[in-house]
Amino acid sequence: MKCLCFVVLLAILIAQNSSDLGVKSASSDGFVSRKGVQFILNGKPFYANGLNAYWLAYEATDPTTRFKITYVFQNATIHDLTIVRTWGFRDGGYRALQIAPGVYDEKTFQGLDFAIAEAKRLGIKMIITFVNNYSDFGGRKQYVDWAKNTGQNVSLDDDFYTNPLVKQYYKNHVKTMVNRVNTFTKVAYKDEPTIMGWELMNEPQCRADPSGKTLTAWMNEMALYVKSVDSKHLLSTGLEGFYGDSSPQRKTSLNPVAANVLGTDFIANHKLDAIDFASIHSYPDLWFPNLDEKSRLNFLRKWLECHLEDAQNILKKPLILGEFGKPTNTPGYTQAQRDAVFNATFDTIYESAEKGGPAAGALFWHVISDGMNNFKDPLSIVLSENSTTVNIITEESRKLGLIRGKGKLSKTKI
């Protein structure tokens, strides 16, 4: 009963004070930029761990559930998590952001407005993704279906990358997003320093062209377009990090076999001039279900180390581990196994950051607020539960954050 009363009271307070959001901007507020392999914030190297909360706009669409966003952000700051990655899309379906090409639901857009305003108020940076590779929440499939309904000769999801009308739909969405004026802060997204950067897509793939050329061409076109309408923010790909034909040795030694038909190329995709930082994800349990726990942990370390080496020596750009986690439905799962994954991940990121290397932080997948059973899954974490994993998250994030105060700028030039 006490918990329910708190929830109701918090919702009321948020509703009463929503017009003030954004007025009390965090003192650390400024645009995150890049210098060589490091992010820079207010003249100093910027390192930070964070989390994924893809559901922010969905829950914030209803003013009575916006307290969940506030609660998660407050818990994030308590645990020194200062980057939040979320979706800037929901194409078609219930509570859609984009109902049809170029047609938006104002209530849902105000939900995203609220999430950005709350992040601003609490000193959190956001990475926002423009579209999904998968059909969840619409994604590429919805764009292709929209084009098909107009009579376009499209049938495959991968037509998303080549059909002129579909590409224009995407550009229109990007333009709408960056020009959106937040109804709470009154600041256009393209002028909002709370937004650390954009991602072209969540885990882009193109099975129609395993060589990677189609996806690289699309990324180059869209990255240049994003920069033409928003020159202030950083941009990345949203890739999982699978290697392609430009790195045959890495492709053979690191990629899961199933990844070799996905048409991605970690090096070629991130060498594009308009891409500011590298993106990778890490899910050894999903990629190698038949390996034992020790082997998967060894792969995790090698996966991170090799990508960091390539970010330093080849790309000469910062790298963010955009997703990682340990699913509780893994056969033989124990809490100690999840702790080991988080320790190994954070340790590898810290070792690079401490030397002024390209590792900027790690964002675990994913956080939910108390009682959010509709978004609970084997990877979800509730920060207020203070599990051993949460304790590791807190300790490692505080340690990484300390580098910001004493860090030296890398000598690597852009």
Please identify every residue annotated as catalytic.
203, 323
Distant-in-sequence, close-in-space partners of 70: CB < 8 Å, separation ≥ 6: 10, 14, 118
- Distance from C-alpha of 137 to C-alpha of 295, rounded to nearest angstrom: 34
Name the H helices within 243-292. 248-254, 266-270, 284-287
Crossing angle between the packed helical segments 67-78 and 2-17, to the nearest 10 degrees: 100
- Distance from C-alpha of 97 to C-alpha of 99, rounded to nearest angstrom: 6
Of 235, 130, 135, which Cα lies nearest the Cα of 173? 130
What residues are paired with 199 via a beta bridge? 129, 236
Of 149, 174, 176, which Cα lies nearest the Cα of 163? 149
Cis-peptide, bond into residue 281, ω within 30° of zero: no
Q: Which helix (H) or strand (E) holds 235?
A: strand 234-236
- Distance from C-alpha of 223 to C-alpha of 235, rounded to nearest angstrom: 7
